Structure 1
Amino acid sequence: FSRLAESGDVLKVPISHGEGNYFADAMTLAHLEANNQVVFRY
């Protein structure tokens, strides 16, 4: 479904879980950003 979204679009997605969060070091985050691999932010 993310193919329909364009960069900068705001998608309202309900999120509720007790599984924890994704953690990454600064280098990994920079790599993901540089390769346009960040799909969601919340």
Structure 2
Amino acid sequence: AAISPKGEGGSRLGVFDTGVDTWYQVFQVNFFAPVMLARGLV
């Protein structure tokens, strides 16, 4: 599971165009979702 937030018209958001709150949310999902899944499978 991973998320990739989009800008207006579906454009990609770059490093400098993305707010810190969005980066934090993306990191939380993209990093911890696989960890939680792996823990559930063990």
Q: TM-score, length-normalised on structure 1?
A: 0.34
| More helix per residue | 2
User: TM-score scaled by structure 2?
Assistant: 0.34
